[in-house]
Amino acid sequence: MDSPLQSLPLFMLGPVPIMSAVVVTWAIMAVLVLGAALLTRHLTLRPSKAQAVAELLVTTVDSQIRDVTGAPPAPYRAFIGTVFVFVLFANWSSLIPGVTPPTGAMETPAALAAVVFLSIIYFGIREGGLGGFLSGFARPNAMMIPLNMLESITRSFSMFVRLFGNVMSGVFVIAIVGSLAALFVPIPLMALDLLTGAVQAYIFAVLSMVFITGAVEKGAPKPQEA
């Protein structure tokens, strides 16, 4: 079994090596984009089953954003919803024979954590302006600037480690049990992997919401005292 810390290229695109995680990621993105295009092509007041599921997903994402952060969901719905759905499909791709989930390789969780880190900066600046966002690092006082900056980096790094570690360990367990046991023995573990993949996608999305909201609140102007 190849180490997850060593990614072997499937093929070369000119001088650029293309890893299996990249190919699976492209496939998931294509499926999600095509599915979203087909699903939203003919929206009706009397929704089909597929449209009803999509509306339930949007409602659930809105509810979670509102419950977790207390913020209006509209500004964050597209980003948080996309992160959740992509991570969910990426985790569940491990159930396809011969497919290693991209979240089980280091590159994809690192890229996702980097995207969340940049989104924290984007939403913080958009809501509070550049000055407001930067001043948030000086709270409660200027001596906290280095620690607050370090915290913003380590939080994203912890998201990367959590997602990568949990998905990778699940893939390893199923692979080892499948190689030692009969055909039907790994099925309960695959069901557990479904649950674990959903939980990890939920946690990643919730942490993204919390960190983004924290950056927005830090950069918001302080209320004037009466």
At residue 213, what are phi and psi to the nearest 5 degrees? -65, -40
Confirm whether 3 is domain-assigned: no
Confirm whether 112 is domain-assigned: yes
Confirm whether 89 is domain-assigned: yes
What domain range includes position 207?
Answer: 9-219
State the helix-helix crossing angle for 107-135 and 74-92, rounded to 10 degrees.
Answer: 160
Start-end of H helices in the chain: 20-39, 49-69, 74-92, 107-135, 145-180, 187-219
Confirm whether 4 is domain-assigned: no
21: number of Cβ within 10 Å:
23
Q: How confident is the model at residue 182 (pLDDT cuts 50, 70, 90)?
A: low
Confirm whether 1 is domain-assigned: no
The domain total for the chain is 1
Quick check: 214 pLDDT over 70?
yes
Confirm whether 205 is domain-assigned: yes
Start-end of H helices in 6-73: 20-39, 49-69
Quick check: 222 pLDDT over 90?
no
pTM for the model stands at: 0.83
